[in-house]
Amino acid sequence: MNGRIENIAEHYTIDELQKLKVLLEKIEKEKKTVLKSSTTIYKFSQEYKKYINLTFTSSYIKSVVLSLKHLSGFFGEHKLLVELSLKNIEEFKYYLMNRAPKGFVVYMRTLKAAFNIAQEWGYITNNPFQKIKYKTSQNKKPIFITRDELQLVIAKEQSILMRNIYLFAFNTGCRLGEIVTLKWKNIDLENKTITIGDEEFITKSNKQRIIPISSELIKELKKMKKKNVNSKHYVFGKSKTFPYRGEYISRKFKKAIRNAKLKEEVHFHTLRHSFASQLAMKGVPIVVLKELLGHSSITTTAIYSHADIKSLQMAIKHL
């Protein structure tokens, strides 16, 4: 083989060989581009479902599956991603509004997120869902619970591990998917910080963030960390090396909420809302909240720019 290369080299100048190398690299790059651009809705759906399976809750995965099912039902599963234009997605939007009016907004948001990943993977150059506009319901203020109400919930929970999970979520604002994948390597007890996002777990915003640990939480984490625990073990796992599924924790929390006789609307994500709400009401700047929550846009964080009714009544007294 080396002899053949040497024979070829004898017939070309160095400049010609360099041009040949550039040409071959260009051909190889174009081959890869063609391969990526030939990705169908079906192929991407299979890959994306595998991608989200380990880090997202079952309810979100269900939304993704249904969204992709509607997409392939409208266009056909052999439709190429690169063939989907803005006009195509507008037509799909009206189809989905009539086909699934109750889940329409969720499905559109889910598909927009999925196609952002398709763009990152190089399957498409632009996300056709980005410019699609549609009416959403009026933004409601997020439901939250107080620290006293959290204690009522904890009192109704028999599992010590579950109690610690509820306390952790309330004091960090972490998403359930972030909590179930958290390992001891992500917790620095000495510097009192938690790192969310690493090579094993990609956050929703694709950005790593650091969360300071409160004095209440640091005590519980120190109790939890035993001598035989290493950095690769799960903090809140079913075992040291096996995580809980998010829906199991959600069900446990819902049961405790009902036993504590709190509002039916309260669910596990309420703990994240509660973390943000209590900080907002204490005057923490919205830009700081944005970083703690890991939001990619401050618009998302803006829903926490509120006060409770007592704070509003106190404000009116200044008139």
The model's pLDDT over 173-208, given as tens digits with 9 standing for 90+, comes to: 999 989 999 999 999 999 999 999 877 776 666 778
Q: May I ask the CATH class of domain 147-316?
A: mainly alpha
Q: Please give the sequence-ordered ranges of beta strands (E in DSSP) within 96-241, or none if there are none.
A: 187-188, 193-196, 209-212
What separation, in Å, do the N-terminal and C-terminal C-alpha atoms of the chain show? 90
Full-model pTM: 0.61
Are 50 and 91 spatial neighbours (Cβ–Cβ below 8 Å)? no
In b/e form, how buried is each residue of 278-311, taking b as 16+ CB within 10 angstroms?
Answer: bbbeeeeeeeebbebbbbeeeeebeebeeeeeee
> What pairing do the DSSP bridges indicate for beta strands 209-212 and 187-188?
unpaired
The mean per-residue pLDDT over the stretch 165-173 comes to 96
Give pLDDT, residue 319. Answer: 64
pLDDT band at 26 (very low <50, low <70, confident <90, very high): low
What mean pLDDT do residues 97-109 have? 90
Q: Which residues contact 87 (CB under 8 A, 6 or more apart)?
A: none
What is the DSSP code (8-state) at residue 140?
A: P
> pLDDT tens-digit profile of 244-273?
988 899 999 999 999 999 999 999 999 999
How many Cβ atoms from other residues are within 10 Å of residue 258's Cβ?
13
Q: Is the dihedral of CA 216, 218, 221, 222 positive or negative?
A: negative
Long-range pairs for 105-112: beta carbons < 8 A, 24 or more residues apart: 105/134, 105/136, 105/137, 106/63, 106/67, 107/63, 107/66, 107/67, 107/70, 108/132, 108/134, 110/60, 110/63, 110/64, 110/67, 111/67, 111/68, 111/71
> pLDDT value at position 202?
66
What pLDDT score was predicted for residue 147? 95
Stronger pLDDT, 294 or 318, i.e. the higher one: 294
Containing 267, the helix (H) or strand (E) segment is none
152: three-class secondary structure by DSSP: helix
Position 101 scores a pLDDT of 87
Q: Rounded to whole angstroms, what are the CA distances from 317 to 281, 305, 312?
A: 18, 20, 9
Give residue 32's pLDDT.
Answer: 46
What is the Cα 246 distance to its own chain's centre? Answer: 13
C-beta of residue 234 within 8 angstroms of C-beta of residue 243 = yes
pLDDT at position 3 over 50: no
